[in-house]
Amino acid sequence: MITVAVDCMGGDHGPQVTLPACTQFLEQHPEAALVLVGLPEALQGFSHPRATLVTVTEVVTMDDPLEVALRKKKDSSMRVAIQQVKDGAAQAAVSAGNTGALMAISRYILKTMDGIERPAIAGQIPNATGGATTVLDLGANVDCTAEHLLQFAVMGSALVSVLTNQESPSVGLLNIGEEVIKGNEVIKKAGELLRNAAKSGDLNFVGNVEGNDIFKGTAEIVVCDGFVGNVALKTSEGLASMIGNFLKAEFSKNIFTKMAAIAAYTVLTALKNRVDHRRYNGAALLGLRGLVFKSHGSADVLAFSNALNRAYDAARNNLLDRVQVRIAHAAPLLAASDATQ
Amino acid sequence: MITVAVDCMGGDHGPQVTLPACTQFLEQHPEAALVLVGLPEALQGFSHPRATLVTVTEVVTMDDPLEVALRKKKDSSMRVAIQQVKDGAAQAAVSAGNTGALMAISRYILKTMDGIERPAIAGQIPNATGGATTVLDLGANVDCTAEHLLQFAVMGSALVSVLTNQESPSVGLLNIGEEVIKGNEVIKKAGELLRNAAKSGDLNFVGNVEGNDIFKGTAEIVVCDGFVGNVALKTSEGLASMIGNFLKAEFSKNIFTKMAAIAAYTVLTALKNRVDHRRYNGAALLGLRGLVFKSHGSADVLAFSNALNRAYDAARNNLLDRVQVRIAHAAPLLAASDATQ
């Protein structure tokens, strides 16, 4: 049986969202178990035959500095949830809490895989092909070297390769132009490392891609610095939500537009499904010796249960070992790039 | 009479787009004149009482390295168009060509204003308030210091202040979280400089904003590094175009969806207008001693003529002098930040 540990206190809404999502998840997956981690008063009253409750005394807040989250709050719901994975009591952990703290604690407790200096957050963004583009890093690392970007490419490639059962998914480097002369120094050097990796057959690198390529689906994996990735993700969410709100307001303007909305119902529902980032909630923290998934802080019940599903699927499909094998296979490549530092 | 110089060879479509846009512009503005700069064969046949033709022998291409564009192609349409501004033959120049080259040549020929080390590209992105957020830099500077970001804030504030006739428009710093501890070292230091500027009353700095705030309209001006700004812009364009294509495909699926499209026509048109980035085409190169506007490379006739309109409005409203006055006013602030370097 697969068990997922849940930080029930994380996110903008905390237990209000996480607990109903846990119930929903348990109903949908009769083979799964959960470890719910939270303050006693939050977990009080929750009961399910496949749920274990673990109470803690602390919660990591959104504005806790890393040092506080990591060194002072040793009994936080976030840390204890990750510890479940380390101890083998769970095969994956999910949190909607402070991203920086989640990354730091995960790294501290679980450690990184060989050849990986920095774990990255890999999320999926729906694209025009009807599928999704895997983008990393989405915010774990705000100052990346070219070598880190190469590591992200290897990890992202391993992840997508495992999830989609293909040998060599395509990788693009997020840049401000397709030409190799574009970008800052780090990006230019990363392009060099990635082109070398492509020559040696280690990566299916398709070259520079631009922001719009994320939605075109030009490459299955798009690699970028965490600052850039986070801005791209949130900018897209902002635009999608502006368009959603705009359509809602315009279609409810008067009786004619309301009738039009009824007529257009199937199309509008299809659009909503296509751009609804809740469907893709649950980003993988890649490069760790354990599975950790980050939910969007503002996740609602549907979104948070999708993050739980994602963690469950990853654990069930043995994602960790399979990614580790692929990263080990790329070890000479990563070591070579490191030597050029 | 206001005269705008046009690089007719720039952009993905060159004269095919720029010449019809010039004709359209001249028809719309009986008080305006144009200087059309291009290869003789491209300009051949164009004639208008308020248009002057200037022929050149070279064209800057999209993949010309900066050195080539700047040092070798001294008779390029881009350079000669900018030279018109320097010489006083035109009050503004517009090009849809290579952004890096446009910036380098503009800077070389026109020079920067006092206190400004690096010019920035300031563009407008439509937001949920029905107006637009001014974002800079959109791609001129791919490696910014905190001091550069402060300069962008001052320039953006001056631009919006002049365009909207208000004393102190709000400025946000694009980051990956609202908390002051978020971001990389450059961003944290820029936050400090901006908070100091706010304390001294020089800037209406509202703090960190995230990608989605661009579309919420949380701040009138959003300041960021050119790499990040360019990715944010292109990511939004990519998503908007994916949604547009999706709606088009879904609404033309069958007779029922086609009827629904007719019913929803007004709403869909309103949406199209709201997110159509062609309406906002024409980004200002700020910080130069002359007005230069950058059109999107893929601009069509409508988009390119909007860029011409924007340049014309800026020249007519004496934007250059007014921005210069405001930057001069902020001189002590900029000098102080420089001293801390």
Note the pLDDT tens digit of each residue in B43-71: 998 999 999 999 999 999 988 888 899 99
* pLDDT tens column, B219-265: 999 999 999 999 999 999 899 888 888 888 888 888 888 888 888 88
CATH number of A120-277: 3.40.718.10
CA distance B154 to chain A (A): 22
**C-beta atoms of B239 and A275 within 8 A:** yes
Question: Chain A, 228-247: which have a CB under 8 Å from a chain B CB?
Answer: 228, 230-243, 245-247
Rg of chain B taking only CA atoms, in angstroms? 21
Give CA–CA dist B293/B315, Å, rounded.
11
Bridge pairing between strands A283-286 and A120-126: antiparallel
Q: Answer whether residue B328 shows pLDDT above 70.
A: yes
Query: Tell me, what amino acid is at A71?
Result: R
The minimal CB distance from B267 to the residues A211, A232, A257 is found for: A257
CA distance B158 to chain A (A): 25
pLDDT of the residue at A177: 83
Please tell me if the domain spanning A2-116+287-323 has the same topology as the one spanning A120-277: yes
pLDDT of the residue at A272: 81
CA B52, chain centre distance (Å): 25
pLDDT of the residue at B324: 86
CA distance B52 to chain A (A): 33
- Please provide the average confidence, as pLDDT, over all residues in chain B: 91
Question: Chain B, 154-213: which have a CB under 8 Å from a chain A CB?
Answer: 174, 176-177, 179, 181-185, 187, 210-213
| Residue in B closest to A179 by C-alpha | B63
Q: Answer whether residue B275 shows pLDDT above 80.
A: no
So where are chain A's domains? 2-116+287-323, 120-277
| Residue in B closest to A173 by C-alpha | B231
**C-beta atoms of A260 and B264 within 8 A:** yes
| Residue in B closest to A211 by C-alpha | B235
In a 3-state reduction of DSSP, which class is residue A58? strand
Ordered mean pLDDT values, 10 residues apiece, chain A (341 residues): 96 96 97 97 95 96 88 95 97 94 95 90 91 92 91 92 87 89 89 91 92 95 96 92 87 84 82 80 94 94 95 91 83 73 48
In a 3-state reduction of DSSP, which class is residue A247? helix
Q: Answer whether residue B341 shows pLDDT above 60.
A: no
ipTM surpassing 0.90: no
Q: Where are the beta strands (DSSP E) in A182-287?
A: 204-209, 221-223, 283-286
pLDDT of the residue at A339: 60
Looking at per-residue pLDDT, the higher value among B17 and B162 belongs to B17
Bridge pairing between strands B283-286 and B291-294: antiparallel
pLDDT of the residue at B96: 96
- Name chain A contacts of B274, Cβ cutoff 8 Å: 243, 246
Class of residue A55 by CB neighbours under 10 A (exposed 0-12, middle 13-18, buried 19+)? middle
Residue A139's φ and ψ, nearest 5 degrees, are: 145, 5
Let me know if domain A2-116+287-323 sits in CATH 3.40.718.10. Answer: yes
Bridge pairing between strands A221-223 and A132-136: parallel
- Which ranges of chain A would DSSP assign to H, the alpha helix? 15-28, 40-43, 66-67, 77-87, 99-110, 146-164, 185-199, 213-216, 226-251, 255-263, 265-275, 301-316, 319-329, 331-339
